[in-house]
Amino acid sequence: MARQPKITFIGAGSTVFMKNIIGDVLQRPSLSGATIALMDLNPQRLEESEIVAGKLVKTLGAKATIETHSSQRKALEGADFVVVAFQIGGYEPCTVTDFEVPKKYGLRQTIADTLGVGGVMRGLRTVPHLWKICEDMMAICPDAILLQYVNPMAINTWAIAEKYPLIKQVGLCHSVQGTAFELARDLEIPLEEIRYRAAGINHMAFYLKFEHRKADGSYRDLYPDLVRGYREGRFPKPSHWNPRCPNKVRYEMLTRLGYFVTESSEHFAEYTPYFIKDGRPDLIEKFGIPLDEYPKRCIEQIERWKGQAAAYRSAETIEVEESHEYASSIMNSVWTGEPSVIYGNVRNNGCITSLPENCAAEVPCLVDASGVQPTFIGALPPQLTALIRTNINVQELTVQALMTENREHLYHAAMMDPHTAAELDLDQIWSLVDDLLAAHRDWIPEWARVSKKVRAA
């Protein structure tokens, strides 16, 4: 019998996400006999994930084998694919810290997991753990592909490529395909009739083309329809998943830049200096900006999980729906050679010629038996390049801090952040970083720790 793949899931206690990925995997004939190794440090969450995974296998009649591990190295033995999904420090205490400490300085955020002081701190907490996974992979399964689902995606991908360039990695997000679905819904056009091409960095990629395939096989640019719908007040349509998050910021930026960004308006509002401003409640109201959105989601998800966990324990079978994640598509293409195209975060390496060679770019990638192969984009429109560079500055300095263990660069990263710099002066920024480093002391590398104010005001 042909060898079956081994899929290792690090952070398997993210049970709902694990369920989506494993559900997708088990529905693919080439992967349905896989060995699935679940690893997590939280024994209760690991047990819950084992129960869910086992019931998925039963529901689908798959021949997969489920293993559980508390040892990362043991879980990685013989792995062909390594899926990573975790949040260092969790909602409490670390996410709460990332929101509450900046608020003392008047700095308000929406998501704080990608950029800004929240994103910098999350990267500082997360990258060392990803590096440890890479170290173990190099020793145990050097040919495995790392499918990385952890934020801050761009900082993580960049840092892995810098320290472990031989690791075969791709950072995966669902913003490109998710936003395409939202826009198709606004336009009332079936998604399968839309052709698009996007590129940039994670959470700030743009649709360079967004077109409708007509009956005669030709294509029509949909951007004029999107702009017209927004100006006439028809778009965005009310959110189908979260009424707190209307999509007005991205539509407004479409009218200014000429292109639509792939990550949500609540994210985009804090990647730029235009929308969250002290003394400007009119902007918050006009664009429907959901301040403190991520903590609210965390609380809702924690509460929802209590009911879900009990339901999964008592259920005989678990309903499986195909998700929109790329993981199973990548695994299937690598394992069978059947080609597919995904959007992945990889070292730029000249794919986008107007961005730095070593940054983490999000581009279309061909996947087949040779692995994940990024495609060439060329130069982005100059206004998109300029805006993206403002975010790359923060990412680059955070990665430099991690690579050189130079704490100064964490302050520099915060200084360069568009939203932080628009709200705070230099003394406030440095003092805020001091406070965050002190608050996160137990969760960050020793070189980055401060126990008291190290800067005079």
- The Cα–Cα gap between 144 and 6 comes to 10
Distances from the Cα of 120 to the Cαs of 95, 150, 457, in angstroms? Answer: 12, 14, 22
Torsion angles phi and psi, residue 200, rounded to 5:
155, -130
Alpha carbon distance 206, 351 (integer Å):
15
DSSP letter string, 262-277 = SS-HHHHTTTSSSS--
Where b means 16+ CB within 10 Å and e means fewer, 130-149 reads bbebbebbeebbeebbbbbb
Strand 145-148 versus strand 168-171 pairing type: parallel
Is 212 one of the annotated binding-site residues?
no
Residue 203 assigned as binding residue: yes
- Select from 351, 304, 58, 349 the least CA-distant residue to 200: 351
Asked if 371 and 344 touch (Cβ cutoff 8 Å), the reply is no
Q: Is omega for the bond preceding 295 within 30 degrees of 0, making it cis?
A: no
**380: Cβ–Cβ under 8 A, 6 or more apart, which residues?**
199, 200, 206, 208, 352, 354, 355, 388
151 is in an annotated binding site: yes
| Angstrom distance (rounded) from CA 402 to CA 409 | 9
Catalytic residue among 174, 240, 324, 419: 174
* Greatest alpha-carbon span in the chain: 69
3-state SS string for 278-308: CCCHHHHHHHCCCCCHHHHHHHHHHHHHHHH
Pairing of strands 219-221, 204-213: antiparallel
**What's 3's DSSP letter?**
P
Is 174 one of the annotated active-site residues of the chain? yes
DSSP SS3 for 323? coil
Number of H helices, E strands in the chain: 17, 12
Give the residue among 289, 298, 241 at the shortest CA–CA distance from 267. Answer: 289
Burial class (CB in 10 A: 0-12, 13-18, 19+), 338: middle
* Dihedral angle sign, alpha carbons of residues 73, 74, 79, 84: negative
- Burial group, residue 256, by CB count within 10 angstroms (0-12, 13-18, 19+): exposed
Tokens 């969760």 -> residue: 443
Return binding residues for substrate.
Answer: 151
Return binding residues for Mn(2+).
Answer: 173, 203
**Where in the sequence numbering do the catalytic residues fall?**
174
